[in-house]
């Protein structure tokens, strides 16, 4: 969040970026169980009117854009990320989950 704020991203958007990264990384830590899952790479790019977040991990294949929660909870971390973002996409590339999230301002 401080990276965003230091680079002229509005505070409320910086908070949304922080929440997005926290939720996605939490899911990786909890659900990417695999003996070889040992890498998480986070890249934040600030563009003219949006922040692009790329999170890459070598855990089990998981597409957050295709996930439906049936737990009965009103909102989950991934649902929150969907509501925060103006765009989200996923690819599996060379054994890595690559999730890109855009937060506009």
User: Are 41 and 25 spatial neighbours (Cβ–Cβ below 8 Å)?
Assistant: no
pTM of the full structure: 0.89
Residue positions counted in the chain: 105
3 state DSSP class of 4: helix
Distance CA 29, CA 70 (A): 20
Domains of the chain, each with CATH number or no CATH: 2-104 (3.30.565.10)
What pLDDT was estimated at residue 58? Answer: 94
What pLDDT was estimated at residue 36? Answer: 78
Task: Look over the chain and give the mean of its residue pLDDT values, rounded to a whole number.
Answer: 92
Residue 34 has pLDDT above 90, yes or no: no
């Amino acid at each position: 969040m401080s990276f965003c704020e230091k680079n002229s991203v509005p505070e409320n958007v910086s908070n949304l970026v922080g929440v997005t990264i926290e939720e996605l990384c939490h899911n990786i830590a909890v659900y990417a169980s695999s003996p070889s899952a040992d890498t998480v790479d986070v890249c934040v790019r600030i563009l003219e009117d949006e922040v692009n977040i790329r999170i890459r991990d070598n855990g089990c294949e998981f597409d957050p854009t295709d996930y439906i929660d049936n737990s009965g909870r009103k909102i989950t971390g991934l649902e929150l990320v969907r509501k925060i973002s103006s765009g989200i996409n996923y690819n599996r590339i060379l054994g890595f989950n690559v999730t890109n999230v855009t937060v506009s301002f």
